[in-house]
Chain A
Amino acid sequence: MPAFNFKPQYLPPAEIHSRLLKLAALFLSLNAAMLSLAPVARSRSWDLSLLRWSHWGGLALWLLAAWLAQRQFTRHTPDADPYLLPIAALLAGWGMLSIWRLSNGFGLRQAAWLTVSMTVFLTGLRTPLNLDILRRYKYLILTSGLLLTALTLFFGTNPGGAGPRLWLGCCGLYLQPSEPLKLLLIIYLAAYFASRLPIRTHLLPLLFPTLLLTGLALTILLIQRDLGTASIFIFLYAAIVYLASAKRRLLGISLGLLAAAALTGYFTIDLIRLRIDAWLNPWADPSGNSYQIIQSILAVASGGIDGRGLGMGAPGLVPVAQSDFIFTTISEEFGLLGTFALFILLAILIVRGFIIAIRAGSNFRRLLAAGIATYFGAQSILIIGGNLRLLPLTGVTLPFVSYGGSSLLTSFLALLILTQVSSELEAEPISLPQPGPYLHIAALLCIGLAAGTLANGWWAIWRADDLLARTDNPRRSIADRFVPRGSLLDRQNQAITITQGEAGHFTRLTLAPDLSPLIGYTHPIYGQAGLEQSLDPYLRGLQGLPALDIWWEHLLYGQPPAGLNVRLSLDLGIQAAADRLLGKHAGAIVLVNARSGEILASASHPTYNANLLDNLGETLTNAPGSPLVNRAMQVLYPSTAAVTPLFLAEYGTTSLTNAEQVQLFEKLRFYHTPDLRLPASPASPAGKTEPGLSPMQMSVAAAALSNAGLCPALQLVMAVDIPGQGWVVLPPDGRPEQCLDQQGVIELLKGIPGPFWQFTSQSKVGSGGAVTWLIGGTRPGWQGTPLGVVILLEEDAPGLAQSLGMDLLEAAIK
């Protein structure tokens, strides 16, 4: 490739122009192909009927415009800067395809505006428009711009319906006068200062007319609440005054004024306070005021380094992605690799602009070119910084890229002026006594872009994993629709909860709805709960599979692989019996295998049906009886009387010293939260006499009585089905330990007739309420599987508890 041949050789500008445009055309064509293919790839099939075609029309218009631009360049402006248009055209085409990816309608409109803008640009280059006309009529130009902008105060509309009324509209066409106003302000300031260079008089009389007009513009913008454009105005004004006067003090004063204005705005204007609060602490209100910025950085995190590929991400989740958040869209689908290139292109554009300024033949052209380069740079940094939470969010556009006719046309008009200045370069530029300000502003803008790159890397690499794991990341729910989630099975591999439907429409179904407090749910709006939450890494395929598989799926689809099935220790038959027995009584039942610690049944009533979450939704949170709570794990009940059989077994007496009680409770692990990979309420603090106990904690003691004083380690999640390896056992957390005196246990239970033993007790709760505990199990020496059972009823009903216990144990041994 000759471009990489470093031997100095003469490369005419037309050749550079042509090469860059060809590469841009190739890049955009590849993107168009990607966009066509994306729906097919998303469906994970070869269903070619899904291919998208409409955006090729936009690309054709782009190619035609590029071809005309190349012809024009060779014939009419062979000395112009050959980098400006190819970069702008690449950015505009990239933006157009990204917009098309979000919405065909917006894409079509953007293509139409791009055609208009390119036509204006090319016609402008052919017409030898003398830039000095702009200089002569500077007041007229700025005043008409101000008038147009002021008209929006009275006749303003918003094409989107709601929101700030910044547009003038007629017959389906909308103009946002504040966009061209930026360019008009630059022309006015450049013309004004060029005629007063070198500046030797007092600054205030010199600045007065410009301050008046800029202040007027700012007032209109502030009334319109167009804060982004107002910030750009202040920055442009400060930059041009600094360029013209070379007084560093002025730059400092302007920055101070900007900060003071922001502070004043913070305390007086609600909108500014909201924006700044959302910027400083977005996590405080992620679904309200900070929704946009949180969704934006989630999209950046989803893009990562390599990006999801055009059409493969979910950038549409960010509100107004096509205009204010187009950078986020590009960041998600092209990744840090894409945005890094974008940053370099913007930097080249800015630096070329300043080179043109320094080589310009008159002060007016010099200030004009530098002002336009500053405008490109400052506006890009403001919106990219806003998207990346580097700066407060403002609603300005990314030049050339964002959706919007006024913005695109203004950008191309600015480019036209810059190109004209570059093609009129004289052999000897006019002298520049103080080049410092030009270097400073250019360096400042490049530093801004570098900061943008760093912020982008911060979200896309460093913080990506944490961000993507957030439950308010909607990409997880989208993945759930496209990737089958693992099933939950009982100990005989009977399905408890499954995924049904076909790719793109997967839904979750619980076959044992009464188990919902334990199983929980995974829902796009309500998030996750229960085992669905705690086993999410396995069910979602992010744990247990080879890292390479996970990486490959992520590379192709940005989604995890198919989830793994998980086997639980529950027995659906016994579980159904437990649920039937508990019925309408509020309380919990836990039945364990006393030897292995495997939980065979765990019921919590009142229960709810996770399949109906769409309809029940919010009402569940405040429903009477708190059905969402898993009473077996998440509630600690008073246990004063319930523990007396344990005292008897261990010490042979019920009157124990506090130290003896604490020692026994420690052995029975009453001060520890059972680790069952389930949400649980924290256990009572160590050393507390009369600790509150969950039925699950108590079931260990019941198991110990049935198992000659040996406390098993409880286990609910048994094994996970890994492709290629089969069922891989997940061992319980802990080992069986002797926690009650063996002889004492035998002594305690020997007088009880029948195969089962049971103790009931009542504890008072609050004012008038009571709970009933039942602990029971199989007699020592029982030939079958030893069982331990705990029944808790939120009422004073020992008789009911006893009959439930007997029925359940009878059902379990069948």
Chain B
Amino acid sequence: MSAVLLLGLRILAAVVLYGFVGSALSMLWLSLRQQSTLVSNRKVIPLTLTIQTDDVPTRVLKFTETTEIVIGRDPDCECLLEDSTISARHARLTFHHNQWWLEDLQSTNGTRLNDEMLGTATIVVSADQIRCGQTTLTVNLETNGVAHG
């Protein structure tokens, strides 16, 4: 019967219609995955901090995966400094827009970058000196061999 042929067409049309919907949704999903891969592929530039305080031997801290480093006396801080002139949460280094940024966390004695009082968040580069209280931290960025973005 011709109606059976029509039924076949109806089934095919429904399959194609859902093919359209499915393709649209799967390609949306794909682009979502694509974006997230793109974002996750952005490698953090490893950052090394050389910490010098007057009476304590020099320490070197290396951060490879972290995108946020809080400097302070609080035990939760990624960069823990035993210095009474430093606030509990003193300053913060964050990685975004493919740069490391330094900002002061409203510390009592303030943060200096290369001997200048830090006002707003500022980009740091290799050999920059961060001064928190009595402590000096020298920044070193490993830029060679790392894909930027």
Contacts and interface: CB of A to CB of B under 8 A. Distances in A.
Interface stretch (B13-21, B79-87, B100-108): B13-21
A557 B10 contact: no
B9 interface: yes
B116 to A, nearest CB: 28
Given A3-B26, A11-B34, A23-B23, A556 B3 contact: yes
A45 interface: yes
Main secondary structure of the interface of A (DSSP, over half): helix
A9 B16 contact: no
Interface in A309-344: 309-310, 312, 334, 337-338, 341, 344
Given A34-B10, A41-B5, A11 B21 contact: no
B27 interface: yes
B7 A556 contact: yes
A345 B21 contact: yes
Contact of B30 (A11, A338, A555): A11
A20 B6 contact: no
A9 B37 CA distance: 10
A309 B10 contact: yes
A46 B2 contact: yes
A19 interface: yes
B73 to A, nearest CB: 34
Nearest to A309: B10
B4 A348 contact: no
Given A30-B9, A30-B13, A37-B2, A8 B21 contact: no
Contact residue range for chain A? 35 or more
A794 to B, nearest CB: 53
A26 interface: yes
B37 A44 contact: no
A337 B14 contact: yes
Given A23-B19, A30-B16, A338-B17, A87 B31 contact: no
B62 interface: no
Nearest to A348: B24
A526 interface: no
Interface string A33-52: 11001101100111000000
B2 A341 contact: no
A90 interface: yes
A344 B18 CA distance: 10
Contacts of B19: 23, 27
A41 B20 contact: no
A87 B14 CA distance: 16
B9 A23 contact: no
Main secondary structure of the interface of B (DSSP, over half): helix
A699 to B, nearest CB: 48
A348 B28 contact: yes
A154 interface: no
B2 A8 contact: no
A334 B3 CA distance: 15
A307 B17 CA distance: 14
**Which of A90, A309, A557 has the largest number of chain B CB atoms within 10 A?**
A309
B21 A19 contact: no
A344 B21 contact: yes
Given A6-B33, A11-B30, A557 B3 contact: yes
B119 to A, nearest CB: 21
A10 interface: yes
B1 A44 contact: yes
Interface in A67-118: 83, 86-87, 90
B26 A309 contact: no
A555 B4 CA distance: 10
Given A3-B23, A344-B21, A556-B1, A307 B6 contact: no
Contact of B2 (A3, A9, A40): A40
A11 B33 CA distance: 11
Contacts of B31: 11
A337 B13 CA distance: 11
Contacts of A306: 10
Contacts of B27: 3, 11, 16, 19-20
Given A20-B20, A83-B24, A345-B21, A6 B13 contact: no
Contacts of A9: 30, 34
Interface string A286-318: 000000000000000000001101101000000
A86 B18 CA distance: 14
Given A26-B16, A337-B17, 4 more contacts: A3-B22, A45-B2, A338-B14, A348-B28
20 contacts: A3-B30, A4-B26, A6-B26, A8-B30, A8-B33, A10-B34, A19-B23, A20-B24, A23-B19, A27-B16, A30-B9, A37-B2, A37-B9, A38-B6, A41-B2, A307-B10, A309-B9, A341-B18, A345-B20, A348-B24
Interface of A: 3-4, 6, 8-11, 16, 19-20, 23-24, 26-27, 30-31, 33-34, 37-38, 40-41, 44-46, 83, 86-87, 90, 306-307, 309-310, 312, 334, 337-338, 341, 344-345, 348, 555-557
